[in-house]
Amino acid sequence: MLPIAWLQLTREKTRLMTAIAGIAFADVLMFVQVGFQSALYASALGPHNSINGELVLVNSTYQTIFSMKGFSRRQLYRLRAIEGVEDVSPMYIGSADWKNPENGTSRVILAFGIDPVQPTLNLPEVRENLDRLTEIDRVLFDRASRPEYGAIETLFQQNPALEVEVNETRMRVVGFFTLGASFSAEGNFICSDLTFLRIFKNRDPEQIEVGVIHLESGVDIETAKQEIQKFITSDTKILTREEFANMERDYWANSTGIGFIFSLGVFVGFLVGLVIVYQILYSDVSDHLPEYATLKAMGYRDSYLLKVLIQEAIILAILGYLPGLGVSWWLYELTRTSTFLPIYMTVSRALNLLLITIIMCSISGAIAIRKLRDADPADVFN
């Protein structure tokens, strides 16, 4: 049966190339939408996945890390008395104005204020530079930030005493780390809690955004969470690190239009491919209706002809998928270089889209089988 399907497709070279181009376009559309959606979540969850602790205390109204309300750090320090809690660490988060040292333009940047003695972010380069953060007016800059903040790493190599202006306050860059830009924060920097309060002069030192809780070795996380729940007030809530990340993901997926838009884009790509393949197979069946009628006259059932169409659909799916994969891979590289978003082609994503492409083409083949009902053997011999 496979040679029949292949010969049917290759008989009209122009039609075959049109089908391949159409499927490739649909695959590229789906790959781009899925890639951007994944990059959105990965970039938004970067700080959450870097939390150096098992539990997190946040304001009860928490939805996203880029717009957080604070709570009293006294609540966090009270938790030290609970059995199983080894230590706690506060973290300040805020948006500041970063002045590009090259051209003087200002741009909003996300700032993290941490305790250098008990850091809340588990990033290797941050741990290596904690001693530098103990000095006032010292910051670590995210090298994966957008270039609009300036070529900070290059300038630092030329001048290790590089100074920048943040919220009209002079700061000295003393090192770098890698976290990455996101849809809401195009750049990041980390400083000590004391430096943070110098940058944000009007902030109440008692109000923190995140409290990180370190548990003793062997303590069950869920049990500790339930115990802590008894000691906190209604204006705060306790979360595991995974729950903290999931709430952020849910915010972008459900509380904004971004997640819906990307999902809609995948669906539209699927429909585009479905229509294109259906039109190709429908035209192919129409052109070869006498041949199909002859096969019916020879005793072949519709189920056999359906298998031929499905095989044509699968062949088209694979032939269209390969260039679509190649173009999408190139677009991922281009996008990552241009936007600094963590968009990568993964094996699981490639296999999932291949399966979706095969399903898409198979559905088109199943729909096109209706045309075979017009293949009447009696018409062939009239």
Long-range contacts of 231-236 (CB under 8 A, 24+ apart): 231/78, 231/79, 231/82, 232/57, 232/75, 232/79, 233/75, 234/60, 235/59, 235/60, 235/71, 236/57, 236/58, 236/59, 236/60, 236/71, 236/75
The verdict on 93 and 215 lying in the same domain is yes
Would the pLDDT of 367 be above 90?
no
The verdict on 29 and 103 lying in the same domain is no
Per-residue pLDDT, 330: 95
**153 assigned to some structural domain:** yes
pLDDT-derived band at 45 (thresholds 50, 70, 90) equals confident
The verdict on 136 and 21 lying in the same domain is no
The verdict on 226 and 309 lying in the same domain is no
Name the domain boundary from 200, 233, 266: 233
The verdict on 110 and 203 lying in the same domain is yes
Helices of type H across the chain:
2-11, 13-44, 46-49, 73-78, 124-128, 130-133, 152-158, 193-199, 221-229, 241-250, 257-287, 289-297, 302-339, 347-368, 377-380
Per-residue pLDDT, 1: 46
pLDDT-derived band at 372 (thresholds 50, 70, 90) equals low
pLDDT-derived band at 59 (thresholds 50, 70, 90) equals very high
The verdict on 274 and 229 lying in the same domain is no
3-state secondary structure of 333: helix
Phi, psi of 55, deg, nearest 5: -130, 155
Number of domains in the chain: 2
Are 326 and 317 within 8 A, CB to CB? no
What residues contact 274, with CB distance under 8 A and at least 6 apart? Answer: 360, 363, 364
Q: Six-digit token pair at 214? A: 């370190």
**320 assigned to some structural domain:** yes
In terms of Cα–Cα distance, which of 211, 142, 153, 216 is closest to 179? 142
Could you tell me the pTM of the whole model? 0.77
**211 assigned to some structural domain:** yes
**185 assigned to some structural domain:** yes
The verdict on 11 and 135 lying in the same domain is no
pLDDT-derived band at 130 (thresholds 50, 70, 90) equals very high
What residues contact 49, with CB distance under 8 A and at least 6 apart? Answer: 241, 245
Name the domain boundary from 175, 198, 233: 233
**116 assigned to some structural domain:** yes
The verdict on 15 and 150 lying in the same domain is no
**48 assigned to some structural domain:** no
Per-residue pLDDT, 2: 52
Would the pLDDT of 175 be above 60?
yes
At 303-339, the pLDDT tens digits run 676 777 788 888 888 999 999 999 999 999 998 887 7
Per-residue pLDDT, 376: 57
The verdict on 222 and 325 lying in the same domain is no
Residue type, 162: L
DSSP assignment string, 100-165: PTTT--EEEEEEEEE-SSS-SB--HHHHHTHHHHTSTTEEEEETTS-GGG--HHHHHHH-TT-EEE
- Residue with the bigger pLDDT between 80 and 66: it is 80
The verdict on 75 and 174 lying in the same domain is yes
**241 assigned to some structural domain:** no
pLDDT-derived band at 223 (thresholds 50, 70, 90) equals very high
User: Average pLDDT for residues 268-295, to the nearest whole number?
Assistant: 76
Task: Give the range among 33-42, 74-83, 163-172, 329-338 with minimum mean pLDDT.
Answer: 33-42
**301 assigned to some structural domain:** yes
- Residue with the bigger pLDDT between 202 and 305: it is 202
User: Average pLDDT for residues 357-366, to the nearest whole number?
Assistant: 86
Would the pLDDT of 375 be above 80?
no
Q: Which residues form the domain of 339? A: 2-43+257-380
pLDDT-derived band at 36 (thresholds 50, 70, 90) equals confident
The verdict on 90 and 36 lying in the same domain is no
The verdict on 108 and 175 lying in the same domain is yes
